[in-house]
């Protein structure tokens, strides 16, 4: 379950991470009063569970209480990627000196967590990774050891973060572990002109299996306003809709994130994040393909699987069986690697579906899927 920004902010503050003063409202009139209490100026931010708020006009700087009311009135009710804004958060402005990016995400395929950090925050991390791969540090985290001060110092050094960020990295790990999270992200984490470290924006995804321990957030999955995300959630799929043309399906959050980066590096934009986890049965593959293909923006689909506990021949069998249920109308590129990969490739070769082709490397698969998507977009 994804939390709203203001809920993520509450968790950060609970664990000692500094955040700006802020308050949430669904009333433009109340927004004026909140801005006044914050000192007059305020950042008015749409509270929706999706990215791209700034580009959509859902984040505005108000110079005074009247401007805050006007901004809230414009933002409330607007649609952002299929999500309708029902509340806004007004936050105290911060004098920013520099912006950074930090996150912890579950890497299912590797059975561990991954720390992702960069000295270039404030923009989409996928874009930074695609344009400057060396600017993003990815450090594996042993879940048994966790993030100690020394581990945090290693992450900060690898990413070029200031020494003051070490304490935040430790506390952010506490948020992940103690709040049953699968993802915690701060973008941007900023150094202020006064030298302090402040979390300006945050994202937290809780483990649905632990929601009974998180009753304060409702204790149950909250459906997305995006119809495809809601449909995927009903099928138990970990799916996030993006705005590209290449559908992406993989096993493990870390692998899927890497695939998104590689697709972007090939000149195409991913259409979604879909992690099928450790299982790739015919049912899971059929559901996943059905959801991804339902997005009219998708022009090609990339399945990138590394066989571990779930062998590649089982994945291939799942794809073959899924093709009996799902009418494939767009090209599908499959990359299988790891346990029983050769047998899995043989199964797909035997099926010989005209729209299914294989690649032996992730880079090759991403390039092919990107080219197919570009060709389809140009032809259309």
Residue numbers annotated as active site: 101, 185
| Contact call for residues 102 and 95 (beta carbons, < 8 A) | no
* DSSP 8-state secondary structure symbol assigned to residue 4: P
CB 316 within 8 A of CB 344: yes
Q: Which residues contact 289 (CB under 8 A, 6 or more apart)?
A: 249, 301, 322, 326, 328, 332
What would the DSSP string read from start to end of 126-155?
Answer: HHHHHH-GGGEEEEEE-TTT---HHHHHHH
Distance CA 245, CA 295 (A): 9
Count the alpha carbons within 13 Å of 357 in the hemisphere toward its beta carbon.
Answer: 13
* 325 within 8 A of 271, measured Cβ to Cβ: no
Q: Judge whether 334 and 352 are in contact, CB under 8 Å.
A: no
Q: How far apart are CA 111 and CA 103, in angstroms?
A: 17
Q: Is 178 exposed, middle or buried (0-12, 13-18, 19+ CB in 10 A)?
A: exposed
How far apart are the C-alpha atoms of 347 and 350, rounded to whole Å?
Answer: 5
Instruction: Provide the 10 A C-beta neighbour count for residue 225.
Output: 18
Dist CA 143 CA 155 (whole Å): 15
Strand-pair category, 300-307 with 332-338: parallel
Alpha carbons 70 and 14: distance in angstroms, whole number: 31
The DSSP call for residue 43 is E
Q: Are 345 and 358 in contact (CB under 8 A)?
A: yes
Q: Tell me the CA end-to-end span of the chain in Å, nearest whole number.
A: 36
Q: What is the CA radius of gyration of the chain?
A: 21
């Amino acid at each position: 379950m994804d939390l709203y920004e203001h809920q993520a902010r509450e968790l950060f503050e609970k664990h000692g991470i500094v955040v700006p003063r802020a308050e949430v409202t669904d009333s433009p009139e109340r927004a004026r009063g909140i801005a006044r209490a914050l000192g007059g100026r305020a950042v008015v931010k749409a509270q929706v569970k999706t990215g791209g708020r700034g580009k959509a006009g859902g984040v505005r700087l108000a110079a005074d209480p009247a401007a805050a009311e006007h901004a809230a009135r414009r933002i409330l009710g607007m649609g952002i990627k299929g999500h309708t804004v029902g509340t806004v958060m007004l936050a105290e402005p911060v004098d920013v000196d520099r912006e950074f990016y930090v996150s912890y995400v579950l890497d299912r395929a590797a059975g561990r967590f991954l720390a992702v950090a960069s000295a270039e925050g404030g923009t989409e991390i996928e874009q930074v990774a695609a344009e400057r791969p060396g600017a993003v540090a990815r450090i594996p985290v042993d879940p048994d050891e966790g993030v100690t001060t020394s581990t945090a110092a290693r992450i900060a050094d690898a990413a070029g973060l200031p020494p003051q960020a070490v304490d935040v990295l430790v506390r952010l790990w506490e948020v992940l572990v103690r709040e049953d999270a699968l993802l915690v992200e701060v973008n941007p984490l900023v150094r202020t002109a006064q030298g302090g470290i402040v979390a300006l924006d945050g994202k937290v995804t809780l483990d649905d299996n632990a929601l009974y321990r998180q009753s304060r957030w409702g204790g149950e999955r909250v459906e997305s306003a995006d119809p495809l995300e809601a449909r995927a959630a009903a099928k138990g799929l970990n799916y996030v809709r993006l705005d590209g043309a290449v559908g992406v399906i993989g096993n493990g959050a870390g692998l899927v994130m890497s695939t998104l980066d590689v697709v972007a590096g090939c000149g195409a934009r991913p259409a979604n994040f879909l992690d099928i986890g450790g299982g790739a049965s015919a049912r899971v593959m059929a559901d996943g393909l059905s959801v991804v293909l339902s997005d009219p923006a998708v022009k090609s689909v990339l399945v990138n699987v590394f066989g571990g506990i779930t062998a590649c021949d089982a994945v291939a069998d799942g794809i073959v069986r899924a093709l009996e249920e799902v009418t494939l109308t767009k090209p599908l590129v499959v990359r299988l690697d790891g346990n029983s990969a050769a047998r899995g490739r043989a199964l797909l070769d035997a099926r010989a579906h005209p729209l299914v082709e294989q690649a032996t490397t992730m880079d090759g698969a991403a390039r092919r899927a990107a080219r197919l998507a570009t060709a389809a977009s140009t032809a259309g």
